[in-house]
Structure 1
Amino acid sequence: MRDFQLPGRSPVRATEAMAATSHPLATLAAVEMLRSGGNAMDAAVCAAAVQAVVEPQSTGIGGDCFVLYCPNGQGEVLAFNGSGRAPAAAEAQWYLDRGHDELPESGPHAVTVPGAIDAWCRLLEDHGKKGIDAALAPAIRYAEQGYVVQDRVAFDWAESAALLAADEHAARIFLPDGKVPLAGELHRQLQLADTLRIVSRRGRAGFYEGEVADDMVSRLRALGGLHSLEDFAATKGDYVRPVGTSYRGYDIHQMPPNNQGLTALIMLNVLSGFSLDSLEPNGAERFHLEIEAGRLGYQDRDNFIGDQNHVHVPVEQLLSRSHADQLRAEIDPARAMTHLPRLELQPSDTVYISVVDRDRNAVSFINSTFGSFGSGVVGPRTGVVLQNRGSSFRLAADHPNRIAPGKRPMHTIMPGMVTAKGRAIMPFGVMGGGYQPFGHVHLLTNMIDFGMDPQEALDAPRVFYRQNTVEAERGVPADAIAGLRERGHQLSIATEPHGGGQLVLIDWDKGTLTGASDPRKDGCALGY
């Protein structure tokens, strides 16, 4: 139990249903959907649509999504890959011939075809009680009538001013009067409201065909992009089989490649050989083991993960106990490894949504345009911000993530699901681009190894290893920082918080739900 004399908040507890998101308006929309007869999938899509308006730096209908779903909280966990693909004309040699040594982080060549709207429509048709029109109604209202800019949204928005100013249509919408909106100010996206209405009436076809698709493709091609109307019309998500591992008696489920979820599972397999519960939760010993397991897991990610429709990914081998034993043997509890290559990891903006309804349908839902405001390219008439997920591709001939026609890039956004004895225990997620495997593992070990309640587990301070430096949040104790330095780690204090996260914990015996939302974002959990 937390100390009620110190800053913080309690987890949210209820019996019927629970939703947790990184924005209060999205959480409220999800709860209203649940109370009006919708189920967890209806609520998750509704929340994602609201966030596509009110968190425009993090997500949008020009992005992608991934979903893990456990119907009635029992049996098989379903997975849906709603990530988009490279244009059919996107040959690696085309970029090399024009002097590119890597894919740009912004502009048309960073854009893959958005997969989110296709995924939303398909998931509602297959698993929802209400249609896309009901799911989009709150988002349309906020886009047209306006929404108040929240504090973390304003913080992130300000950092993207230069990117937005570089595109006249982005600047017109997101730099009103030439300035970034401040926290507490009202903002509208009238063109996006019109686009959402078209999708509300016509469903998937309203986005991938007709005037909306024409606006996006025309803009991309005018900027030199390779996209075509046929690329958009052909967009289709897939049901896939999750990957998973067992950790301390719990089954942890992740998306398969092209998703990086495998990285968190490798880390858990490595850490399973250490007695973490004997360590100080915020001590140097615990952080060191997490960092080293992460460095090894990310090395596997960068060496092997790509689109399985294009390359072979040795999933079983990477998740084998023998592989974990081999990696674990490389870790010295007293000293940082020196033989691993530099990790070029980047944080990014994402929204994660966790919902459980009265029937215990459990949804773990993540949606993103990758970098803040994605590619910076905005549809002139539609107001759609296009993602920059294509910047994840590589151009090296022997790399599993090399760009190719119709190929999906290696993806960072990871929904998570915990089950035990065939029942859903917790849909969860931790946002933050490359940070996400670290975040999943830190959250899970906080709860499983150290017995933290859901809110404590999200509140706890974090570290992130990237560019050969451990970036420690200000909440990491001074003695832990000193201990990491003694082990040979380079340390810096993080300039921004690491990620954000949400979860809903199901207690089947008590018939209760417990929700939590990360203080690093603006959101909350609500239930009834």
Structure 2
Amino acid sequence: MGWASLGGTADLAVASTSRAARPTTGAGGPSPTPFGRPTDSIPNPGARITAVRGDRASNWPKQTRSEVVARHGAVATSQPIAAQAGLRILQKGGNAVDAAVATAAVLGLVEPESAGLGGDLFAIYYSAKDRKLFGLNSSGWSPKAWDLDYFHARGFDEKTGMPEHGVDSISVPGAVEGWHRLLERFGTRGFDVVLEPAVTLAEEGFGITEQIHSDWEEGVDVLKTDADSVRVFLRDGKAPPLYSIFRNPDLAHALRVLQRKGRDAFYTGEIADAVVAKIKKLNGAMTSADLAEFHAEWVEPISINYHGYDVYEMPPNTQGFAALEMLNILQQCGPVLGLNLANLGPRSPEFWHLLVEAKKLAYDDLNTYNGDPRFTSVPLGRLLSTEYAIAQCKKINPRRATPPRVRASIDSGTVYLAVADRWGNMVSFIYSLFELFGSGVTVPGYGFPLQNRGSQFSLNPSSPNVVAPRKRPFHTLIPAFVMQNGHPVMAFGNVGGSEQAQAQATEIINLVDLGMNPQAAADAARFSHDQKTDVLQLEPELFNLVGRQLSAMGHHVAKSVGSAMGGFQAIVFDREIAGDRSEQAQTQSQEQAQSQSQAQAAERVATGGASPSPVDGVYRAASDLRKDGSAVGW
């Protein structure tokens, strides 16, 4: 076979002829946005691209990139600069908690529409030393003055619902308290160290990415309702331009105060005074006592076993049990309906039908029972039992969609991060302002908006989530974790309001039933079902593949984009299994590494000495293409 027949000379000749035939003047010319630089008339050049995407050369061609594989530590989150801040803490001898708080602080700066000092926090921490999981609920409570009479007097009732934004949507922020509790119990560094990357970046400025710019633009209207928000976050009444440098010296000041004075500055000190003064100015109800008396709570994560893997979520007041119930129902579809998800596969409309129908049943229970367990009893024992899953599965018609019974839906802006260190500790960590820029109310002099989580209370007196003094609202935030036989397998999570639980269940199915690696699980098309409207959103390729068939089954199908699917981040731990290394030897090695002085390890790294011992295995980290995500490791 000659060279020409392989596409050599003949193709070159055709290409040469084609080039010669092209006009040299009067057509084409440089783009008005070379190198993707925005202009006044074209502020978002990427929206004009009409090219098709290339594929990878190996494995699954549609996977966007390889997993990050590392032995000393890893960070996965929605913003590369934040991930790198956490990685630097790990490299300097800090542990997973230290790095998580450093990463979170930077995320609160670079994604101010989603998270920050004014938000709430939940975390699941795996302690290699204790060989167990610890859950932290640092979601803030309502002001003591909040009850039904308070909102009725302000013109709100069961029909109108809670105010969505503004001063009467603000509950006590729990994020700073959560940072403090994690560092106090499991960290090795203080605010003085872990907040420094965020302080420096707030002072020097960071560049606005496409994703953050898009989200920022969506939050402009709520920001315009507050003069302090306009001053801090808008430029000439608009979001900062794409690729521009944004500085927040007021937030840098707030972080400096926390470095010097600790969490008390936020709850009883000068920042607390500024928060209460701003709320009082707007005729709100929060008092100094509401802040001073708030504390985070250590809780036991809840779990079910899915095909041999223990999947853990946070208990109520979060929606975590919905993800577990959905998985439990799907696990029974084999024996009950004779349908196996792995055999059906993700190109089958029946596969997606089962997922959506199980989701509806789980969310019916979520919207019926979820509330603050200090005020209401949530029957988790029954809802997460095998017997209940079998009964629920029997309600699924394998050929026809059934409408949801309890209608409700929640959207939000959130950041999630996973961190793992060289001692085997792992953190699944999520925090949020709720909707874009939260309440829209910014604390003057300190450069952060306050959350609007209070908007998620109910004004229905019979609801378990009815507003009450010092009560925590229904929460969408759910960090997740997977264990097997007492060993850590994966820290993971997905942002996106009510998308979180359904996405997490889908991702577990991708990983366990379909055998995907975590990056492939992140990149695979997902669905988002709205329990209120009963609309089933599918990403474009999935819509083209099964949309017509699902519509014929009675689903209200719509084509969607990635923003509806949230953003998945994960770190998987693969333990080293070698013929000459028994499990007992590996455990002893891990204990020796854990007992090693972290200060000495940090000194060796700083002075260029011998590298500290890595974990016995590898971390495999993945980050979602739908965000600015980055997984990093060393």
TM range, smaller chain: over 0.9
After TM superposition, the structure 1 = structure 2 runs for residues 421-436 of structure 1, keeping only pairs within 5 Å, are 421-436=485-500
TM-score by length of 1: 0.98
Q: Deviations over 1:31-78 (max 9, x none)?
A: 100000000000001000000101101100100000001101863211
Between the aligned partners of 2:520 and 2:411, the Cα distance in structure 1 is 23
Between the aligned partners of 2:627 and 2:139, the Cα distance in structure 1 is 24
Structure 2 unmatched ranges of 5 or more: 1-56, 334-339, 578-616
Equivalent residues of 2:326, 2:359 under 8 A apart: yes
What residue is the counterpart of 2:623 in the other structure? 517
Q: Deviations over 1:320-371 (max 9, x none)?
A: 1111111111101110013x33633132111111011111101000010110
What residue is the counterpart of 2:248 in the other structure? 189
Between the aligned partners of 2:99 and 2:417, the Cα distance in structure 1 is 9
Q: Indicate yes or no: 2:567 matched with 1:500.
A: yes
Between the aligned partners of 2:506 and 2:156, the Cα distance in structure 1 is 37
Between the aligned partners of 1:63 and 1:5, the Cα distance in structure 2 is 39
Equivalent residues of 2:528, 2:564 under 8 A apart: no
Alignment equivalent of 1:60, drawn from 116, 137, 142: 116
What residue is the counterpart of 1:287 in the other structure? 352
Q: Deviations over 1:368-388 (max 9, x none)?
A: 011010110111222121000
After TM superposition, the structure 1 = structure 2 runs for residues 456-495 of structure 1, keeping only pairs within 5 Å, are 456-466=520-530, 467-495=533-561
**SS where residue 177 of structure 1 aligns?**
coil
Q: Indicate yes or no: 2:393 matched with 1:328.
A: yes
Between the aligned partners of 2:130 and 2:154, the Cα distance in structure 1 is 52
* Structure 1 residue 7: Cα displacement: 6.6
Moved segments of 4+, more than 4 Å: 1-7
Between the aligned partners of 1:417 and 1:5, the Cα distance in structure 2 is 28
Q: Indicate yes or no: 2:283 matched with 1:224.
A: yes
* Structure 1 residue 4: Cα displacement: 7.2
Alignment equivalent of 1:78, drawn from 124, 131, 134: 134
Between the aligned partners of 1:238 and 1:445, the Cα distance in structure 2 is 31
After TM superposition, the structure 1 = structure 2 runs for residues 38-437 of structure 1, keeping only pairs within 5 Å, are 38-72=94-128, 75-101=131-157, 102-274=161-333, 275-338=340-403, 340-341=404-405, 343-437=407-501
What residue is the counterpart of 1:14 in the other structure? 70
Between the aligned partners of 1:208 and 1:477, the Cα distance in structure 2 is 48
**SS where residue 476 of structure 2 aligns?**
coil
> Letter of the aligned partner of 2:280 in structure 1?
R
Alignment equivalent of 2:88, drawn from 22, 28, 32: 32
Give the direction of change, closer, same or farther, for the CA distance of 1:296–1:419 in structure 2 (3 Å limit).
same
Equivalent residues of 1:18, 1:515 under 8 A apart: yes
CA RMSD after TM alignment: 1.4
Equivalent residues of 2:317, 2:475 under 8 A apart: yes
Between the aligned partners of 2:543 and 2:467, the Cα distance in structure 1 is 42
* Structure 1 residue 160: Cα displacement: 1.0
Equivalent residues of 2:117, 2:175 under 8 A apart: yes
Between the aligned partners of 1:207 and 1:219, the Cα distance in structure 2 is 14
Equivalent residues of 2:368, 2:406 under 8 A apart: no
Equivalent residues of 1:74, 1:422 under 8 A apart: no
Equivalent residues of 1:216, 1:379 under 8 A apart: yes
> Letter of the aligned partner of 1:114 in structure 2?
P
Between the aligned partners of 2:546 and 2:353, the Cα distance in structure 1 is 9
* Structure 1 residue 6: Cα displacement: 5.2
| Bigger-Rg structure (1/2) | 2
Equivalent residues of 1:74, 1:423 under 8 A apart: no
**SS where residue 106 of structure 1 aligns?**
coil
* Structure 1 residue 2: Cα displacement: 5.0
Give the direction of change, closer, same or farther, for the CA distance of 1:324–1:139 in structure 2 (3 Å limit).
same
> Letter of the aligned partner of 2:556 in structure 1?
Q
Give the direction of change, closer, same or farther, for the CA distance of 1:38–1:74 in structure 2 (3 Å limit).
same
TM-score by length of 2: 0.81
Equivalent residues of 1:52, 1:61 under 8 A apart: yes
Between the aligned partners of 1:27 and 1:490, the Cα distance in structure 2 is 38
**SS where residue 77 of structure 1 aligns?**
strand
Give the number of equivalent residue pairs: 527
> Letter of the aligned partner of 1:163 in structure 2?
V
> Letter of the aligned partner of 2:363 in structure 1?
Y
Between the aligned partners of 2:381 and 2:505, the Cα distance in structure 1 is 20
**SS where residue 294 of structure 2 aligns?**
coil
**SS where residue 342 of structure 2 aligns?**
helix
> Letter of the aligned partner of 1:113 in structure 2?
V
Between the aligned partners of 1:515 and 1:475, the Cα distance in structure 2 is 25
> Letter of the aligned partner of 1:501 in structure 2?
F
Between the aligned partners of 2:406 and 2:242, the Cα distance in structure 1 is 37
Give the direction of change, closer, same or farther, for the CA distance of 1:2–1:405 in structure 2 (3 Å limit).
farther
Q: Deviations over 1:152-198 (max 9, x none)?
A: 11111111111111111111111122221133110011111101110
Structure 1 unmatched ranges of 5 or more: none
> Letter of the aligned partner of 1:29 in structure 2?
A
> Letter of the aligned partner of 1:432 in structure 2?
G
Give the direction of change, closer, same or farther, for the CA distance of 1:315–1:479 in structure 2 (3 Å limit).
same
Between the aligned partners of 1:345 and 1:116, the Cα distance in structure 2 is 24
**SS where residue 176 of structure 1 aligns?**
coil
Give the direction of change, closer, same or farther, for the CA distance of 1:73–1:462 in structure 2 (3 Å limit).
farther
Between the aligned partners of 2:118 and 2:292, the Cα distance in structure 1 is 14
What residue is the counterpart of 2:14 in the other structure? none
Between the aligned partners of 2:630 and 2:320, the Cα distance in structure 1 is 25
**SS where residue 448 of structure 2 aligns?**
coil
**SS where residue 143 of structure 2 aligns?**
coil
Between the aligned partners of 2:129 and 2:536, the Cα distance in structure 1 is 38
Give the direction of change, closer, same or farther, for the CA distance of 1:448–1:321 in structure 2 (3 Å limit).
same
